[in-house]
A and B are shown apart, each in its own frame.
Chain A
């Protein structure tokens, strides 16, 4: 009965979303607040209906109702409860329902946003309703998660064991909140183009309205991608965290577009400039989200992370993508030339710096897009099947971003309209000198000596120090009495702290990525019990291997000690788990956290050692500073959150404080 309620609620949500779009259009045309209010009500009701449907699906998974095809295909009675629930969004149908949940949820939030003017809100609600109706129709007619099985099987096929992991239980909701959050920016951009306000006062307000949505989506996406990378790092047992795989790129593209939008919306808000460009980015971010959904689900690109692939449904997604993005960009091409330019600014100015940021971010996104889609293009053109490997991205994306990051710390120092490059240079001289020193120190400290890695270290330090220097300048650290500094620090808007944290977090990530990539040490050898292996300065000894029983798996559990000269040995556990339900084996990495470093131990197959004794193949990575790779994005997300909180506060008060960036 609960399952039928869910199925009904899903259809109801589709009807309500379609009504929402229709009524909102009528309300906008007739300028009727009553109709517009009804459309908002439909948006709330549609979201509520999807919540009911989603709850019903989670319930079906929680009680293992195998008469539901989706549950039978993805769950098992032996699974721990967390993974029974997480399996609800582990399949194509379930994850699509999650997508719809986020889409209608954001739609409801948009419909209840009080600060938007009538025309813009009603149009945006109409577009959001249309998006909701399209995706809900896709769910109802082609991917119904509530389809029944008759006869119901006695046991389910279980969730892919690689997905049975806490990080991956959280990763899809975060990622989808980010992906689909950009739908609101998309709707607001389409609405702004439809409303076609030519007056200069409209665009600063639009920038202010769109930015919190972009910021919130970007925060979710940052966390979602970081969680995914962390999962790949410790669950796959390949020693790496980013493989430039099509599926990873698909999530990275909207992130880049969103980051560009965050920055360009500041210019639009403060100066009314770049209106067309910000609108374009808002359309682009959600288009990239939909493109990602298509690439991931259709299986047109060979990915190592392919889940839930179905080419026919992929085609439907392509149709939705083509219709919505095509219409939106056509509207953009038609209306963009009429957009008012807004304030003028000198090339060396805060605006100029943000434009430069946008140029680099979009150029970087373009190279990633090209590398991701090139196999498709070439196959369509010549029939040859190719793949584009990580070296391509290392040669294109990395240098572009490196140049962008070198100029980044100067941006926040520039004044609006007309900046003073010499003054900026003077105020950043200390940070630059220190970063240079650290680069030299890094060159000596790490073996083997690598010039590029040393420069990368300097770059990371430069980002962190540059961001801190900006805050120090604002509070007049060491130049004014302490009481004055404290007073100024209290007076700094949250958004300023947010920017400092976000930029410093990026620096932290760069440090981690540079050191881990440049200096990781890998060693592998078959070991008998009692034998040991050397990875850099670490000695890893296989103490014993025993059979352990988990809730739904059997494991070969290896206990290994990790020792360093002059330090205490620590024990880590690395497992190979066998899941009888699906007949699969997974690897549980043993991780020894040593300060910022990881010692990463993988227990391989049982075999023979070189001396012919029975043993296990053991693979060890020493990943220096790997902790920073995942800490950096977390700091960036906290920075984003501070900035978001500031804006909400300010929007509530309705006053614009000078000095908030």
Chain B
């Protein structure tokens, strides 16, 4: 291989670059490609306008579960209202709710808006810690002046 550099050191360096480059390119390429579709945006009900969260796009909706809003319209299905005290979004979810799901508690639901601006959740996240508030929810409630530490301050 006459095109190789003469010095063994330079040759080894070339080999390392030849090995690193494709792996690095693969990693970067895959990351950029995957990042396009795997990123989920987070909104509170008042932010989730039709422009920002069009019907059908997968987003996360966060806020408080409105008191008295949990209902079971059909077996295996549950509906509730997520509110940030400025706007409210009705949510329908088919499946079992997490153990720590409760009224007045912070919640994050993943799913998509329907054309009528109600939300169909495919996943409802609740935390292992009963006093834990998802950080996005806490931050937004703080900026909107709705933060009541007793309702769910950060935990122990």
A-side residues, CB < 8 A to B, are: 73-74, 91-92, 160, 162-163, 237, 299-302, 304-311, 341, 344-345, 347, 352, 355-356, 359-360, 363-364, 366-367, 370-371, 374, 384-396, 399-400, 403, 524-526, 582-587, 602, 604-605, 607-610, 617, 619
A-chain residues with CB within 8 Å of residue B38 when the two chains form the complex: 388-392, 395
Contact of B41 among A352, A385, A391 (CB under 8 A): A385
| Docked-complex contact B27 and A391, CB < 8 angstroms | no
CB distance from A40 to the nearest CB of B (A): 37
A-chain residues with CB within 8 Å of residue B132 when the two chains form the complex: 306, 309
| Docked-complex contact A160 and B128, CB < 8 angstroms | yes
Contact of B40 among A352, A386, A526 (CB under 8 A): A386
A-B contact count (CB 8 A): 147
| Docked-complex contact B96 and A396, CB < 8 angstroms | no
Whose C-beta in chain B lies nearest to the C-beta of A400? B27
| Docked-complex contact A367 and B27, CB < 8 angstroms | yes
| Docked-complex contact A617 and B76, CB < 8 angstroms | yes
B-chain residues with CB within 8 Å of residue A609 when the two chains form the complex: 75
| Docked-complex contact B155 and A307, CB < 8 angstroms | yes
Residue of B96, B130, B156 contacting most chain A CB atoms (<10 Å): B156
With A367-B27, A608-B75 as contacts: A388 and B39 at CB distance below 8 Å:
yes
Could you list 18 examples of A-B contacts with CB < 8 Å?
A74-B156, A302-B136, A308-B129, A341-B9, A344-B8, A363-B26, A371-B35, A386-B40, A388-B35, A389-B38, A392-B35, A396-B31, A524-B96, A525-B76, A526-B76, A584-B99, A608-B75, A617-B76
Q: Tell me the interface secondary structure of chain A in the complex.
A: mixed
Contact of A584 among B39, B40, B60, B100 (CB under 8 A): B100
A-chain residues with CB within 8 Å of residue B18 when the two chains form the complex: 347
A160-B127 Cα distance, complex, nearest whole Å: 11
| Docked-complex contact B75 and A526, CB < 8 angstroms | yes
B-chain residues with CB within 8 Å of residue A302 when the two chains form the complex: 108, 134-136
Contact of B30 among A304, A367, A386, A602 (CB under 8 A): A367
| Docked-complex contact A386 and B19, CB < 8 angstroms | no
| Extra contacts besides A302-B108, A306-B132 (5): CB < 8 Å | A160-B128, A386-B41, A391-B37, A399-B30, A587-B99
CB distance from A394 to the nearest CB of B (A): 8
CB distance from B52 to the nearest CB of A (A): 10
CB distance from A60 to the nearest CB of B (A): 16
B-chain residues with CB within 8 Å of residue A304 when the two chains form the complex: 125, 127-128
Whose C-beta in chain B lies nearest to the C-beta of A360? B23
CB distance from B124 to the nearest CB of A (A): 11
Contact of B34 among A355, A391, A526, A583 (CB under 8 A): A391
CB distance from A368 to the nearest CB of B (A): 10
A-chain residues with CB within 8 Å of residue B9 when the two chains form the complex: 341, 344
Query: Is the C-beta of B20 less than 8 angstroms from some C-beta in chain A?
Result: yes
| Docked-complex contact A524 and B95, CB < 8 angstroms | yes
Whose C-beta in chain B lies nearest to the C-beta of A378? B39
B-chain residues with CB within 8 Å of residue A364 when the two chains form the complex: 27
| Docked-complex contact B96 and A355, CB < 8 angstroms | no
A392-B33 Cα distance, complex, nearest whole Å: 9
Contact of B156 among A73, A356, A584 (CB under 8 A): A73
For window 68-99 of chain B, which residues contact chain A by CB distance below 8 Å?
A: 72, 75-76, 95-97, 99
Whose C-beta in chain B lies nearest to the C-beta of A399? B30
A387-B125 Cα distance, complex, nearest whole Å: 13
With A160-B128, A386-B41 as contacts: A392 and B156 at CB distance below 8 Å:
no
Query: Is the C-beta of B154 less than 8 angstroms from some C-beta in chain A?
Result: yes
For window 103-133 of chain B, which residues contact chain A by CB distance below 8 Å?
A: 108, 125, 127-130, 132
| Docked-complex contact A395 and B30, CB < 8 angstroms | yes
B-side residues, CB < 8 A to A, are: 8-9, 12, 15-16, 18-20, 23-24, 26-27, 30-31, 33-35, 37-42, 60, 72, 75-76, 95-97, 99-100, 108, 125, 127-130, 132, 134-136, 154-156
| Docked-complex contact B96 and A367, CB < 8 angstroms | no
| Docked-complex contact B128 and A307, CB < 8 angstroms | yes
CB distance from A301 to the nearest CB of B (A): 8
A349-B24 Cα distance, complex, nearest whole Å: 21
10 smallest A-B Cβ distances: which pairs? A392-B38, A395-B34, A385-B42, A363-B27, A391-B38, A604-B96, A347-B15, A396-B30, A392-B34, A585-B99
| Docked-complex contact A160 and B39, CB < 8 angstroms | no
With A306-B128, A396-B30, A608-B75 as contacts: A387 and B42 at CB distance below 8 Å:
yes
A-chain residues with CB within 8 Å of residue B39 when the two chains form the complex: 374, 386-389, 392
B-chain residues with CB within 8 Å of residue A582 when the two chains form the complex: 130
| Docked-complex contact A308 and B99, CB < 8 angstroms | no
A281-B75 Cα distance, complex, nearest whole Å: 54
| Docked-complex contact B128 and A305, CB < 8 angstroms | yes
| Docked-complex contact B97 and A605, CB < 8 angstroms | yes
B-chain residues with CB within 8 Å of residue A524 when the two chains form the complex: 76, 95-96
CB distance from A531 to the nearest CB of B (A): 12
| Docked-complex contact B60 and A387, CB < 8 angstroms | yes
A237-B156 Cα distance, complex, nearest whole Å: 24
| Docked-complex contact A356 and B19, CB < 8 angstroms | yes
Whose C-beta in chain A lies nearest to the C-beta of B18? A347
Contact of A308 among B8, B31, B156 (CB under 8 A): B156
B-chain residues with CB within 8 Å of residue A299 when the two chains form the complex: 135, 154
B-chain residues with CB within 8 Å of residue A344 when the two chains form the complex: 8-9, 12
A638-B130 Cα distance, complex, nearest whole Å: 37
| Docked-complex contact A160 and B130, CB < 8 angstroms | yes
A393-B97 Cα distance, complex, nearest whole Å: 26
| Docked-complex contact B27 and A607, CB < 8 angstroms | no
Contact of A307 among B96, B100, B125, B129 (CB under 8 A): B129
B-chain residues with CB within 8 Å of residue A389 when the two chains form the complex: 38-40
| Docked-complex contact B76 and A92, CB < 8 angstroms | no
| Docked-complex contact B130 and A583, CB < 8 angstroms | yes
| Docked-complex contact A386 and B76, CB < 8 angstroms | no
Contact of A359 among B19, B34, B129 (CB under 8 A): B19
Contact of B27 among A160, A237, A392, A396 (CB under 8 A): A396
A610-B77 Cα distance, complex, nearest whole Å: 11
CB distance from A421 to the nearest CB of B (A): 14
A-chain residues with CB within 8 Å of residue B135 when the two chains form the complex: 299-302
A-chain residues with CB within 8 Å of residue B33 when the two chains form the complex: 395
CB distance from A300 to the nearest CB of B (A): 7
A-chain residues with CB within 8 Å of residue B16 when the two chains form the complex: 355
Whose C-beta in chain A lies nearest to the C-beta of B139? A385
Whose C-beta in chain B lies nearest to the C-beta of A608? B75
B-chain residues with CB within 8 Å of residue A301 when the two chains form the complex: 135
A-chain residues with CB within 8 Å of residue B37 when the two chains form the complex: 391
B-chain residues with CB within 8 Å of residue A403 when the two chains form the complex: 26
A359-B21 Cα distance, complex, nearest whole Å: 10
CB distance from B46 to the nearest CB of A (A): 14
